[in-house]
Amino acid sequence: MRLFEIENNLEFRVTKRFLKKLGTYIKSYSGVKEAFRAFCSAKLKNQSFGKKDGPYTGGLLKGLLHAHLIHGKVIITYDIKSNVIYLYDIDEHTAYESQNAQRNLASFVASLGAQDYMPMSISGEEEKLSDEQKKDISEFLFQACASDPEIIKEALSGDFSTLKYFLEEIASFDLILKEFGGQNGFISYLKTIAKNYGMK
């Protein structure tokens, strides 16, 4: 079986590390979001994403697949097993040049188990928060109640600027508001958390 000659009922599985760094690169580089969508579209069609899409040919990452979203800059490290596309990491091209960096990534990939992946829809369906993201949001908000309640108080007054800065490490703040029923729904959720924690 040649590369990309695989079943068409594909699904994407992504690490939390990949999702977090993807968000960073979308903000840092123009065109990354569009390139990533094009990459996913190509995979779903069993196609290569241009000339810079294929296996690492040497070093400690040999055998893993990689593709350049932005030539010479932002690359994805991934693999295809059966009908699953595993998205491991995304980083600057130079980040993998040293043996130490390659060793770290190879060790990270080797350490991954089924519980370390989240499903990701690329089918054009409405974007939603994953259960893992919802859990991370709740945990952060409870921690904020304990360590920095002013962040919660600001948000309860309608000023989301500080809270948005931290929560966007987990997911788009617009998506978070949408999932919680808009600004008023999110404030109601914050009030419930603050009350459960004993904040006044």
DSSP characters over 4-54? T---S--EEEEEHHHHHHHHHHHHHSTTHHHHHHHHHHHHHTT---SSSEE
Q: For a pLDDT cut of 90, what percent of the chain falls above it?
A: 32
Predicted structure pTM score: 0.58
Q: Coil, strand, or helix at residue 122?
A: coil
Give the CA distances from residue 197 to residues 105, 121, 176, 180, 182, in Å, rounded to whole numbers and listed in that order.
Answer: 39, 34, 21, 19, 23
Q: What average pLDDT does this structure show over 101-107?
A: 93
SS3 for 137-198 is HHHHHHHHHHHCHHHHHHHHCCCCHHHHHHHCCCCCHHHHHHHCCHHHHHHHHHHHHHHHHC
Select from 19, 27, 12, 13 the least CA-distant residue to 136.
Answer: 19
Q: For a pLDDT cut of 70, what percent of the chain falls above it?
A: 92
Q: What average pLDDT does this structure show over 163-174?
A: 84
Q: What average pLDDT does this structure show over 139-144?
A: 90
Domains of the chain (ranges; CATH) run 11-120 (3.30.2310.20), 131-197 (no CATH)
DSSP classification of residue 116: G
What pLDDT shows up at residue 200? 64
Select from 161, 158, 166 the least CA-distant residue to 186.
Answer: 158
Question: Which residue would you say has higher pLDDT here, 4 or 53?
Answer: 53
Please, which pLDDT band fits residue 127 given cuts at 50, 70 and 90? low
Q: Which two tokens stand for residue 185?
A: 């729904």
Q: What is the amino acid identity at position 55?
A: P
Indicate if the pLDDT at residue 121 is higher than 70. Answer: no
Q: What is the amino acid identity at position 188?
A: S
What pLDDT shows up at residue 3? 35
Indicate if the pLDDT at residue 169 is higher than 60. Answer: yes
Indicate if the pLDDT at residue 185 is higher than 60. Answer: yes
Indicate if the pLDDT at residue 111 is higher than 70. Answer: yes
Q: Which two tokens stand for residue 68?
A: 């350049």
Please, which pLDDT band fits residue 122 given cuts at 50, 70 and 90? low
> Which residue pairs, CB below 8 angstroms and at least 24 apart, start in 109-115?
109/64, 109/77, 109/79, 112/15, 112/88
Indicate if the pLDDT at residue 84 is higher than 60. Answer: yes
